[in-house]
């Protein structure tokens, strides 16, 4: 079998996130994992075309052209918007304009904005204790944490997010969410059963920036309890249905009915760009507020820079801050960035009026070299657009 032949027939739950099977599975998640629809509604937001960037002419510091960087980072789809106009739209492999692609941890950033909507509605209080919304988590890692600390990943969890570890809690976590077969690491139940079992790490809540995906799943659980609604309904009525999206989105859901708000959202590249444009417009889409502008402003201006500097994020971005599930690196002032493993990026640059959605099937979940290249690529593309105006 070559790199593409028969992938659909040979892809299964045990290999779907490995290369080359992920080139097919990331756009066919619904054939492998259970889930539910997040509905679009209303008129579609359209983008007028503008002159495309010459991707061969834009150079990274390494000497590579932007086109080369796009190719060697296993890009599946790339959408570049210049002040709301469609500049470049590229698809590769199994991807096309109507294809939903797994967003992985970009889902966290979507969930972070959903939280802001519920805060504005008076349904969610970030200062309240997590266990006051979800009593099942009282004796877990999040038992003494506030909702704000969960939003900011400021909770120490005894959980090692090494994506290449074949066993331990991470393996059980994947079984619980139904992303892996039980094999040698069975876990009975879904995330609602698994999350309360995770214990606190050594640091007090609020004193660290500990990126742990289960913390984002806890956030989704809190939002459900605060609102009395399930995640697909919340996203449909509060967010996705107001974007002017062209396609329904979709999210993985386990056997207990828990939506994977840490990484299970699937959407088209164009709709992800529409979501990014809403962020760039301070939470507004089609002339109406979707996310409170104050919540977007808080993401841009708040966050703990000291804990960022002490975390793994410093090695990628340098100085910056993390707030409500979004990255804000100081080297690109005004940029809000959402990142998922295997090369999923949403880059929103309000100062240069640029939005970039990049979906990929990189072989490794985490690749420091490609992460740095993807960040530079987005920065160079935004600079090229700003300089030609």
Banded model confidence at residue 1, pLDDT cuts 50, 70, 90: very low
Average pLDDT of the segment spanning 256-262:
98
Tokens of 275: 């979501």
Q: What is the pLDDT of residues 81-94, one digit of tens each?
A: 999 999 999 999 99
Residues 230, 221 contacting (CB under 8 angstroms) = no
Average pLDDT of the segment spanning 63-83:
98
Average pLDDT of the segment spanning 109-127:
98
**Mean of all residue pLDDT scores within the chain:** 96
The residues near 131 (Cβ < 8 Å, ≥ 6 apart) are: 137, 138, 142, 143
> Beta-strand (E) ranges in 210-334?
249-252, 265-267, 284-285, 288-289, 320-323, 326-329
Of the residues 25, 73, 105, 146, only one is catalytic, namely 105
Count Cβ atoms below 10 Å from residue 65 Cβ, excluding itself.
17
Render 107-146 in DSSP notation, one character per residue.
Answer: HHHHHHHHHHHHHHTTS--TTSBHHHH-GGGTTSTTTT-B
Q: Is 325 left (phi over 0), alpha (psi -120 to 50) or beta?
A: left
Question: How far is CA 183 from each of CA 14, 195, 281, 365, rounded to the nearest angstrom?
Answer: 9, 20, 47, 21
Tell me how far apart the alpha carbons of residues 20 and 363 are, in angstroms, rounded to a whole number. 7
Candidates 286, 276, 294, 299; CA nearest to 241 is: 286
Q: What is the pLDDT of residues 296-355, one digit of tens each?
A: 999 999 999 999 999 989 988 999 999 999 999 999 999 999 999 999 999 999 999 999
Whether the per-residue pLDDT at 357 is higher than 60: the answer is: yes
Q: What is the pLDDT of residues 42-61, one digit of tens each?
A: 999 999 999 999 999 999 99
Residue 105 appears among annotated catalytic residues: yes
Q: What is the pLDDT of residues 260-282, one digit of tens each?
A: 999 999 999 999 999 999 999 99
What HEC string does 312-326 produce?
A: CHHHHHCCEEEECCE
Output the pTM of the full model.
Answer: 0.97
- DSSP 8-state code for residue 81: E
- DSSP strand pairing (344-349 vs 35-38): unpaired
Looking at residue 4, its pLDDT comes to 55
Question: How far is CA 71 from each of CA 62, 77, 93, 383, rounded to the nearest angstrom?
Answer: 15, 11, 11, 20
> Rounded to an integer, what is the distance from CA 143 to the centroid of its chain?
25
CATH architecture of the domain formed by 42-93+101-388: 3-Layer(aba) Sandwich (3.40)
Tokens of 40: 């679009």
Whether the per-residue pLDDT at 162 is higher than 90: the answer is: no
Sign of CA dihedral 281, 282, 283, 286: negative
Paired with 161 in beta bridges are none
Looking at residue 5, its pLDDT comes to 59
Looking at residue 2, its pLDDT comes to 43
Tell me how far apart the alpha carbons of residues 360 and 307 are, in angstroms, rounded to a whole number. 29
């Amino acid at each position: 079998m070559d790199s593409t032949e028969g992938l659909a027939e040979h892809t299964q739950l045990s290999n779907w996130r490995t290369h080359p099977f992920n080139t097919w599975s990331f756009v066919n998640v619904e054939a492998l994992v259970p889930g539910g629809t997040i509905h679009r509604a209303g008129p579609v937001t359209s983008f007028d075309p503008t002159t495309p960037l010459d991707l061969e002419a834009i150079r990274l510091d390494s000497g590579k052209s932007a086109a080369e960087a796009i190719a060697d980072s296993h890009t599946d789809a790339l959408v570049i918007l210049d002040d709301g106009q469609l500049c470049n739209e590229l698809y590769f492999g199994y991807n096309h304009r109507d294809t939903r692609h797994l967003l992985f941890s970009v889902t966290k950033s979507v969930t972070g904005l959903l939280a802001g909507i519920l805060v504005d509605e008076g349904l969610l209080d970030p200062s309240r204790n997590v266990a006051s919304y979800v009593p099942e988590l009282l004796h877990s890692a999040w038992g003494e944490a506030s909702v704000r600390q969960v939003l900011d990943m400021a909770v120490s969890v005894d959980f090692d997010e090494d994506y290449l570890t074949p066993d331990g809690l991470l393996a059980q976590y994947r079984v619980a969410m139904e992303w892996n077969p039980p094999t040698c690491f069975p876990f009975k139940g879904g995330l609602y059963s698994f999350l309360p079992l995770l214990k606190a790490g050594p640091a007090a809540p609020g004193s660290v920036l500990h990126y742990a995906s289960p913390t984002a799943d806890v956030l989704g659980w809190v939002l459900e309890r605060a609102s009395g609604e399930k995640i697909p309904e919340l996203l449909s009525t509060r967010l996705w249905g107001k974007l002017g999206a062209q396609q329904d989105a979709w999210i993985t859901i386990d056997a207990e009915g828990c939506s994977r708000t840490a990484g299970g959202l699937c959407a088209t590249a164009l709709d992800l760009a529409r979501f990014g444009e809403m962020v760039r417009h301070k939470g507004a889409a089609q002339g109406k507020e979707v996310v409170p502008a104050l919540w977007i402003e808080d993401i841009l201006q708040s966050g703990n820079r000291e804990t960022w500097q002490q975390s793994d994020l410093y090695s990628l971005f340098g100085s910056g801050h993390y707030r409500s599930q979004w990255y804000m690196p100081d080297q690109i002032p005004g940029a809000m960035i959402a990142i998922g493993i295997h090369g999923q990026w949403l880059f929103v640059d309000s100062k240069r009026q640029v939005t970039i959605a990049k979906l990929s099937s990189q072989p490794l979940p985490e690749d420091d070299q490609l992460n740095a290249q993807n960040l530079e690529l987005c920065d160079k593309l935004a600079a090229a657009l700003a300089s030609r105006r």
